[in-house]
Amino acid sequence: MPVTDEQVAWLRAYLAGHPEEAQSLRARATAPDGAAGLGALVHAAFVIAARRKFGRSWTRAEVTQFVAQVRRLLTERPEALDPGVAGYELRRALGDKPAGHPDAHSSGRVQFILLNALVHSLDLKDADVAAVINQAREVAGTLLGSRTV
Convert the pLDDT of each residue in 89-144 to its tens digit. 999 999 999 988 899 889 999 999 999 999 999 998 889 999 999 999 999 988 77
pLDDT at 47: 97
Q: What's the rounded Cα separation, in Å, for the pair 139 and 149? A: 19
Residues constituting the chain: 149
Percent pLDDT > 90 in the chain is 60
Q: Tell me the mean pLDDT in the region 48-63.
A: 96
pLDDT at 32: 64
Measured from the Cβ of residue 149, the count of other Cβ atoms closer than 10 Å reads 3
Between vectors from CA 28 to CA 26 and to CA 34, what angle results, nearest 5°?
105
Q: Tell me the mean pLDDT in the region 76-82.
A: 86
Q: Cα dist. 55→3, 65, 73 in Å? A: 27, 15, 23
| E strands present in the chain | none
**pLDDT > 60? residue 81:** yes
CA 121 and chain centroid, separation = 13
Q: What's the rounded Cα separation, in Å, for the pair 135 and 48? A: 8
Q: What's the rounded Cα separation, in Å, for the pair 38 and 21? A: 17
**Contact by Cβ (8 Å): 98, 92:** yes
Q: What's the rounded Cα separation, in Å, for the pair 44 and 27? A: 21
AA identity, residue 141: G
**Contact by Cβ (8 Å): 46, 93:** yes
